[in-house]
Amino acid sequence: MNDKIRWYKKLGNFLKDVRAELKKVTWPSKNEVTSTTIVVIAATVFFGFYLFFMDVIFAWVITQFKSLFG
């Protein structure tokens, strides 16, 4: 029975510590979130197209090698 009481006390202390740490967090502003989100989306689209075209080019090169040596 003592273990259950200690367990609940530990949980309570943990939740208090979590709440205290969350008060220390510096949250980003709406403008910061918007600008970084745009950057992430743009980078994702750019690298998606880049990888797609590199895949197409390498596939073409491999088929050319197969047709020459195969």
pLDDT at 4: 63
Number of structural domains found in the chain: 1
67 burial via Cβ count (<10 Å: 0-12, 13-18, 19+): exposed
Query: Which secondary structure element, helix H or strand E, spans residue 26, and what is its range?
Result: none
pTM of the model: 0.63
Note the pLDDT tens digit of each residue in 18-67: 999 999 999 999 999 999 999 999 999 999 999 999 999 999 999 999 99
**Residues contacting residue 36 through CB under 8 Å, at least 6 positions apart:** 28
Q: Which of 49, 48, 47, 52 is nearest to 60 (CA)?
A: 52
If you search the block for the tokens 């273990």, which residue do you land on?
Answer: 3
| Rounded to 5°, angle at Cα 48 from 43 and 53 | 130
Structural domain including 31 reads 2-69
